[in-house]
């Protein structure tokens, strides 16, 4: 485009932008929350346990009283099956898997993990591998604990394993790594079998290196099935059975914040963890475990729920793709990921324009996750990544929000080209 053409295009976009601004919108595409329609579907779980004869798991444990530190055995079997772990490899915990990740990290800091020479807090410096873009809560935990974050790029098939290998195998202060292996937050990519195997076959310089495998979106398919290898199996084959901590939850299957978290690892890791968590609680909420078991009924029950969720989420993802495609395809104003499941789409803006896009959408009444949220310390060095969360708003709000976004992305792009001319 010539300078004049650019100016004309910009004028037209600003006119469209102003029209949206005049509408006094108040729209939100920031939160990865299930929608009210999804939550409504789960309401029968709330009164599934009604009588005193319903209060025991199949092994006879009364879920209403203290005990069963690692969770009801029936729940450990059920959620273990989701993780691909046996009862001895599974702990079922409270309502938040993020809380248990924090807890595992906090215990590692104070006491170490299986195989640690000393608590992690006793090192001058420890480091975690952080694939970027990634999940702000993973990064902020590292920040909180003073763990140095080594950023590695993420491709369509997972993070850069060569770079990871270099760090992990040479530096004994690299103690851990964050992964969201399926429908990753925010890219929506899934690790290929090769990537999973490469990670399982790492030969860490630190004997107590742990992969924090946050498999939050394991069953969250929207456009057909996507497979992920069981990393614990691969770790066992590679002679690294203790190297991985797997996390899952029903926060985005049943209710966000009232779900069930679960943890899978080698039997040796579970034993070690049991000997630590016995100091921190008597037992987690077993009635909520039982409520889940009775409502979900079977692994097929999970699938049924997730298909219903997908039917609610698909039109929203479709809307995002449709607006971006229509408004931006071939214009050089940014690209975007096309996940087959999960909760997020990532927009990759032109260098240095993400902050400006966010300013523009915000001024137009659209709230989105701020730029930088996808990187450690909220700092995206190229100012490129913006996370779009389509799950919560209804389509009729999502569409104008995405139109505002697309117009803003074009304006920001033209502004940045103009700035180069000056």
Which residues of the chain form contacts with a copy of itself (CB under 8 A)? Answer: 31, 33-34, 36, 39-40, 42-43, 46-47, 49-52, 55, 62-67, 94-96, 98-99, 102-103, 106, 109-111, 121, 137, 140-141, 144-145, 251, 255-258, 276, 279-288
Measured CA to CA in angstroms, residue 43 lies from 35, 48, 217 at distances of 13, 9, 21
33 vs 353, which CB is nearer to a copy of itself? 33
Q: Which is nearer to a copy of itself, 58 or 110 (CB)?
A: 110
Write the DSSP string, 75-117. Answer: HHHHHHHHHT--GGGEEE-SS-HHHHHHHHHHHHHHH--TT-S
Q: Minimum CB separation from a copy of itself for residue 121, in Å?
A: 6
3-class SS of residue 287: helix
Residue 420 Cβ vs a copy of itself, minimum distance, rounded to whole Å: 40
What's the min distance (Å) between Cβ of 410 and a copy of itself?
A: 32
Question: What 3-state DSSP class applies to 279?
Answer: coil
How far is Cα of residue 102 from the mean position of the Cα atoms in its chain?
A: 14
In angstroms, give the least distance from the CB of 292 to a copy of itself. 12
The residue written with tokens 């108040």 in the block is: 26
CB of 106: closest distance to a copy of itself in angstroms?
6
- Our CB check for a copy of itself shows the closer of 59 and 144 to be 144
Is the bond preceding residue 133 a cis peptide, omega within 30 degrees?
yes
Nearer to a copy of itself, 105 or 174 (CB): 105
Q: Of 33 and 192, which has the nearer Cβ to a copy of itself?
A: 33
- Residue 236 CA to residue 194 CA, distance in Å, equals 16
In the bound state with a copy of itself, the residue whose beta carbon lies nearer, of 56 and 197, is 56
Q: Cis omega before residue 186 (within 30°)?
A: yes
**Phi, psi torsion values for 219, nearest 5 degrees:** -120, 20
Closest contact distance (angstroms) between CB of 250 and a copy of itself is: 12
In the complex, the smallest distance separating the C-beta of residue 216 from a copy of itself, rounded to whole angstroms, is 12
- How many residues can be counted in the chain? 422
| CB-based contacts of 395, cutoff 8 Å, min separation 6 | 315, 316, 319
Listed residue (354, 382, 381, 349) closest to 370, CA to CA: 354
- Smaller CB separation from a copy of itself, 276 or 416: 276
């Amino acid at each position: 485009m010539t300078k004049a053409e650019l100016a004309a295009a910009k004028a037209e976009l600003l006119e469209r932008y102003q029209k949206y601004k005049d509408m006094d919108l108040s729209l939100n595409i920031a939160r990865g929350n299930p929608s009210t329609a999804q939550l409504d579907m789960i309401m029968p779980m709330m009164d599934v346990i009604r009588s005193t004869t319903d209060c025991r798991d199949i092994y006879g444990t009364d879920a209403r009283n203290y005990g069963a530190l690692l969770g009801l055995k029936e729940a450990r079997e059920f959620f273990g099956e989701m993780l691909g772990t046996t009862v001895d490899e599974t702990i079922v915990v409270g309502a938040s898997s993020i809380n248990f990740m924090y807890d595992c990290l906090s215990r590692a800091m104070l006491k170490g993990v299986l195989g640690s020479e000393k608590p992690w807090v006793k090192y001058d410096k420890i480091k975690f591998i952080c694939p970027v873009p990634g999940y702000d809560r993973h990064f902020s935990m590292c920040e909180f604990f003073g763990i140095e974050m080594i950023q590695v790029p993420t491709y369509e098939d997972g993070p850069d394993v060569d770079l990871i290998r270099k760090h992990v195998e040479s530096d004994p202060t690299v103690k851990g790594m964050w992964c969201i292996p399926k429908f990753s937050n925010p890219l929506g990519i899934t690790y290929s079998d090769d990537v999973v195997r490469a990670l399982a076959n790492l030969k860490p310089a630190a004997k107590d290196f742990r992969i924090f495998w946050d498999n939050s979106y394991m069953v969250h398919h929207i456009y057909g099935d996507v497979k992920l290898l069981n990393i614990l199996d691969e770790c066992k084959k590679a002679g690294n059975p203790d190297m991985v901590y797997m996390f899952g939850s029903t926060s985005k299957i049943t209710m966000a914040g009232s779900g069930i978290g679960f943890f899978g690892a080698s039997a040796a890791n579970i034993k070690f963890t049991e000997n630590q968590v016995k100091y921190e609680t008597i037992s987690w909420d077993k009635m909520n475990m039982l409520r889940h078991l009775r409502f979900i009924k079977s692994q097929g029950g999970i699938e049924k729920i997730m298909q219903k969720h997908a039917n609610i989420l698909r039109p929203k993802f479709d809307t995002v793709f449709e607006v971006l495609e229509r408004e931006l395809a071939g214009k050089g104003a940014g690209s975007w990921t096309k996940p087959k499941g999960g909760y997020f789409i990532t927009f990759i803006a032109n260098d240095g324009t993400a902050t400006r896009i966010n300013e523009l959408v915000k001024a137009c009444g659209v709230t989105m996750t701020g730029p930088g949220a996808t990187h450690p310390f909220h700092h995206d060095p190229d100012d490129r990544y913006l996370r779009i969360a389509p799950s919560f708003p209804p389509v009729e709000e999502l569409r104008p929000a995405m139109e505002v976004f697309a117009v803003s992305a074009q304006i920001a792009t033209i502004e940045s080209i103009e700035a180069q001319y000056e």
